[in-house]
Structure 1
């Protein structure tokens, strides 16, 4: 049985999302921040800045007790996004993206095809897609100004309006809107995940050599569709993904289908509210019994349950940045269609 994988949890369980550090925020009245510009103004700058700003740097990322560092070179040139991320600790590895082509390189294991690219993490398309008006589910407000990695930044708080999602705090570079630091916070204010650049240079002088793959290995890559690429750059959604062979009777309001990766014999759909994301994996259960219940690392919840339909047993897995109680409700609302159960039993 293939195990669920997705971009945010690949490369040794999210080590490639690896990045952290704590900092004080200068609290000043919202009207005095950044020349009286609003929180919405800065959020609108964030989406294009993630892809269309060229820069190089090193960032750290913390999830629970796990802290990792990555080097990144990111270039927007002639309408194409090119990016190279390299692990700085916990072993070698890298991700290279050129337009619609994405290659993941693991040490001693060759390059791994990214069959399941799910919006996740501070550099993911979830921040740029703008599928849903974020202000419906989060209260946005300015919290002050600061200085991070040598750049002046403005701080935006996004407070969840219900118990089904986490709150976020974003630090954006003032001239470009580039995200340079972020927190994911629980309802009690606990910081569950923390991303921050420790060094940063915003520059158009990114050479071709900085974006070349340097790790030896078997060459395997994944090609994103042109529609996916345009959606990431322009904030346009591609054709709405569909659940095939199963359905959800409940999901948190505002989370809409955002992607439908391939998972072998299973079916997967990712959902996003325009900021957070979670994925639902439904696949025939193997002979080896899998543990069920919830686990959480940082802000990422993994909830697994077994579900029987006719004579066929299925494994339902919910993975994403939502509270455990919400993940459980999603998993328990999955309903298997008879045709899916019959076809799975014939395999």
Structure 2
């Protein structure tokens, strides 16, 4: 048996065989010693790269943790713009924290005059042009800037965290931090955090292609200030006050009529409730599903004669789907990709044998 050998005086780097890899020419040494050398070098590079990526993840997580503290603990006021579905709104906000409780006052600066007042007990909407005030006594789900769960580790199986440099927003220097989904079942976020306070100066909701679906950006901001001047004279000006205090019967102890199989990874049912259907005299079952950041709602009611949503619909970042399952009208809606809604609907199963 003959063995091919290289001349001893031939330089190591002359012993390359050329390979094609994804359209690029790379060299590979044919000698065993060289293969070992480059294998070790590759392992070292991979280890260094993984360590650098892990450190970027930790740095981004630290910034996000600071952001969560800032939005829940700081007083601030200013004006921000909200871009969504090719519409631009300008809104004045006052965010006050007293004894750990958050109050917010938002005033629309363009279009029809509107005000929203939120605290731990209710949401009050004021519409001066229509001479009406509506008060929803249900606890508000505060999503303005306060988006993330307390435990970021719960998000890491489905999202990656990255720092993306710096930018200047509303006269403040900011750190750019991204939350990047690991699959197509959820949207991503990009936050521009004030370098000193970590308060979000700008936030972008990103679709599956990395394009902004919604953007919120401060144009002016005062941190540490919250001038709370709420006009309490509306009742004396003949404005009608409408209160919404819909009773909800928790059904956690009851056997649910529906369950879900093979949900998109990370999504679980976080709440179930039942509300009266005042229009038809029945009830509406409401399921909320979430992965800790993204969420969607499923509404289930007795199928009617028509007028309900059929098929898919979209408004900006919000997708919706309507249709019938097991003689029930199903409506799914959420700030998630359409594929997520459809996958959740396909995972629904009716517990016919357990129904009364």
- Place the TM-score, normalised by the shorter chain, in its bin: 0.7 to 0.9
Match of 1:23 in 2: none
CA-CA distance at 1:339 after TM superposition: 7.3
1:70-109 to 2 correspondences below 5 Å: 70-107=91-128, 108=130
Match of 1:183 in 2: 204
Matches of 1:78 and 1:335 in 2, distance apart?
45
The answer to whether 1:323 aligns with 2:346 is: no
Match of 2:260 in 1: 248
5+ residue gaps in structure 2? 1-51, 247-251, 277-282
Matches of 2:143 and 2:67 in 1, distance apart?
14
Runs of at least 4 residues off by over 6 Å: 115-118, 240-243
Decide which of 202, 207, 212 is 2:227's aligned counterpart.
207
Decide which of 59, 68, 74 is 2:80's aligned counterpart.
59
Q: TM-score, normalised by structure 2?
A: 0.71
Alignment partner of 2:241: what SS? coil
Matches of 1:96 and 1:81 in 2, distance apart?
11
- Report if the CA contact (8 A) 2:298-2:333 is conserved: yes
Matches of 1:213 and 1:338 in 2, distance apart?
54
Matches of 1:130 and 1:267 in 2, distance apart?
29
CA-CA distance at 1:164 after TM superposition: 0.6
CA-CA distance at 1:212 after TM superposition: 5.9
Instruction: Please give the root-mean-square deviation of Cα atoms over the aligned residues, in Å.
Output: 3.4
- Report if the CA contact (8 A) 2:122-2:139 is conserved: no
The answer to whether 1:271 aligns with 2:271 is: no
CA-CA distance at 1:301 after TM superposition: 0.7
**In structure 2, do the counterparts of structure 1 residues 132 and 87 end up closer, same or farther at CA, with 3 Å as the change threshold?**
farther
Deviations 1:26-58 (A, max 9, x none): xxxxx8xxxx98101011112222221111111
Q: TM-score, normalised by structure 1?
A: 0.72
Match of 2:132 in 1: 110
- Report if the CA contact (8 A) 1:248-1:334 is conserved: yes
The answer to whether 1:142 aligns with 2:142 is: no
CA-CA distance at 1:286 after TM superposition: 2.6
Deviations 1:130-154 (A, max 9, x none): 4862222111110011121122211
Matches of 1:123 and 1:111 in 2, distance apart?
25
CA-CA distance at 1:96 after TM superposition: 0.9
Bigger Rg over Cα: 2
CA-CA distance at 1:87 after TM superposition: 1.8
- Report if the CA contact (8 A) 1:129-1:274 is conserved: no
1:241-320 to 2 correspondences below 5 Å: 244-260=256-272, 263-264=275-276, 265-308=283-326, 313-320=327-334
**In structure 2, do the counterparts of structure 1 residues 136 and 116 end up closer, same or farther at CA, with 3 Å as the change threshold?**
farther
Matches of 2:343 and 2:245 in 1, distance apart?
32
CA-CA distance at 1:160 after TM superposition: 0.7
Greater length-normalized contact order (CA 8 Å, ≥ 6 residues apart): 1
CA-CA distance at 1:199 after TM superposition: 1.5
Alignment partner of 2:205: what SS? strand
- Report if the CA contact (8 A) 1:158-1:167 is conserved: yes
**In structure 2, do the counterparts of structure 1 residues 193 and 71 end up closer, same or farther at CA, with 3 Å as the change threshold?**
same
- Report if the CA contact (8 A) 1:259-1:270 is conserved: yes
Alignment partner of 1:274: what SS? coil
